[in-house]
Chains A and B, each alone.
Chain A
Amino acid sequence: MAVTGLNATDNPAPGVGVIRSLRAAPGFQGKVLGLAYDALDSGLYSKEIGLDAGLLIPYPSHGVDALRERLREIHQRHQIDVIIPTLDSELSAFIALEPELRGWGIRMFLPSREQLELRSKVRLAELGQKAGLEVPVQAVLSDASDVFRLPSDLPYPVVVKGVFYGATIVNGPDEAAAAFHAVVARWGLPVIAQRFHAGEEYDVVAVGDGRGGMVGAVPMKKLLLSDKGKGWAGVAVKDPNLLEAARRFFAATSWRGPCELEILRTPEGRYLLIEVNPRFPAWCHLSTGAGQNLPWTVVRLALGQPVEPMTEFQAGTLFVRISLDLIASMDDFQALTTLGELARTRADA
């Protein structure tokens, strides 16, 4: 197995959670490779997750060809069966490579390009209509001056969002212009201005079977936020409205693979779909703790194994994050920096 997204900072990538779930699957004895973009991606140094090797791959900005060549090299030495990409920014390249990788014997369980585009933040209204889900009013901004001309049904405060990541609540056009520039500098155009609604935010980690069905889903309420607004603790909940929203999303899109739905419950009891992330969230290991090992399910689906839909899980299961200083050797850092690879034996762990 190979898993990307090992940068487990205070805004963690999902890779470490995915790998912990794979390791927790009963009977799983396979090798796990960590595919990272930087020699200091912290998951590379975690012995607890039991990586057999950590390997650097080129950043998505280097293009599909560079990724293909690096994966070919890695596959020749490590014989990968399944790759689970976990980052929004790399998905497009992995989707493009899927037919070729399949020819090499590498399986993935990813959405199609059309599905990926339909759940794009700029097409949220269309997705909402198709799935019968209420979504907030939003406008797509291509120029900073657009913040002075927001439509009348989009009054301030609004949430300014990047096409991949980031969300800032702004109270007027000046703040919005500053947020616009910050988002463009980091993630480029377009930028989305979404109507702000008060309410409780819930997130659902779920897997679609690619034929309109839902294989499993666990909703979560954040109990504690980091200063970046990321969930630092959360609890599995069993609100049937959240599960129904996920079901409708899968039925409307025939989504194939993992995703995270962000849903706001307003004080009046309305459920608004705010966003769909096309990959596992960083907190996905909670699904395993609550009784649905969704990362392992994706491996089985990728391998073409039959998987029964899972409906049960333990509401009230909590996750709480922790920051740890891992002690590492200069040899490990050197190996990653110079060779792009850190090999481990199970005895190291």
Chain B
Amino acid sequence: MSESGFVFDPYGGQTYSLNATGRLILEALRRGDDVAAIESALRESFEAEPETDIVRDVREYLLQLREQGWLPQGAEP
């Protein structure tokens, strides 16, 4: 992943452009952060309202990553 959030999958050849949120989550996953740490980082970076269900959004995003083969099936951050 480049600094601008551009991602190249060297196995399948697909390219992706991640927005700031996606970039933050992917960087956190690479550090080995768990979902609680990712939620906390997102709240801090984007000043989310307390009632916003960030965990649900993160889990949805993780599901997408799994479908793309970026996260091993069964792996739970």
Q: Which residue numbers of A lie inside 8 Å of B, CB to CB?
A: 200, 202, 220-221, 223, 235, 237-240, 265, 315-316
Q: Which of A239, A240, A316 contacts B8 (CB 8 A)?
A: A316
Considering the chains assembled together, what is the distance between the CA atoms of A237 and B10 in angstroms? Answer: 5
CB closest residue in chain B, given A269:
B69
**Are B8 and A238 touching (Cβ within 8 A)?**
no
Which residues on B sit within 8 Å (CB–CB) of A223? 13
Question: How far apart are the CA atoms of A270 and B10 in the complex, in Å?
Answer: 18
Least CB distance, A222 to chain B, in whole angstroms: 9
Which of A202, A220, A265, A316 contacts B10, CB < 8 Å? Answer: A316
Please list the residues of chain B having a beta carbon within 8 angstroms of any beta carbon in chain A.
8, 10-14
3 closest A-B pairs by beta carbon, nearest first, are A221-B13, A315-B10, A237-B13
- Is B8's CB under 8 angstroms from A200's CB? no
- Which residues of chain B are within 8 angstroms of A240 by Cβ–Cβ distance? 11
Residues of A within 8 A of B14 (CB): 221
Chain B residues lying within 8 Å of A221, measured Cβ to Cβ, are 12-14
Q: How far is the CA of A265 from the CA of B13 in the complex (A)?
A: 12
Shortest beta-carbon distance from B66 to chain A in Å: 14
Shortest A192–chain B CB gap in Å is 27
Docked CA distance A96–B11 (Å): 40
Residues of chain A contacted by B13 (CB below 8 angstroms): 200, 202, 220-221, 223, 235, 237
For A237, the chain B residues whose CB sits under 8 A away are 10-13
A265: which B residues are within 8 A, CB to CB? Answer: 12
Min CB distance, A260 to chain B, in Å?
16
Closest to B69 in A: A269
Pick 24 A–B contacts, CB within 8 A, sort by A: A200-B12, A200-B13, A202-B13, A220-B13, A221-B12, A221-B13, A221-B14, A223-B13, A235-B8, A235-B13, A237-B10, A237-B11, A237-B12, A237-B13, A238-B10, A238-B11, A239-B11, A239-B12, A240-B11, A265-B12, A315-B10, A315-B11, A316-B8, A316-B10
In the assembly, what is the distance between CA of A200 and CA of B10, in Å? 15
Given A220-B13, A237-B10, A238-B11, 12 more A-B residue pairs with CB atoms under 8 Å apart are: A200-B12, A200-B13, A202-B13, A221-B12, A223-B13, A237-B11, A237-B12, A237-B13, A238-B10, A239-B11, A315-B10, A315-B11
Q: In the docked arrangement, what's the CA distance between A342 and B5, Å?
A: 51
- Complex Cα distance, B13 from A220, in Å, reads 8
A33 vs B38: C-alpha distance when bound (angstroms): 61
Closest to A240 in B: B11
Q: Which residues on the A side are within 8 Å of B8 (C-beta)?
A: 235, 316
A235 to B8, CA, bound (A): 10
CA distance A207 to B12 in the complex (A): 22
User: Chain A: which residue is nearest B13 at the CB level?
Assistant: A221
A193 CA to B69 CA, complexed, in Å: 33
Q: How far is the CA of A316 from the CA of B11 in the complex (A)?
A: 9
A239 CA to B69 CA, complexed, in Å:
13
With both chains docked as a complex, state the minimum distance between the C-beta of A191 and any C-beta of chain B, in angstroms.
31
Give complex CA distance A44, B50 in Å. Answer: 69
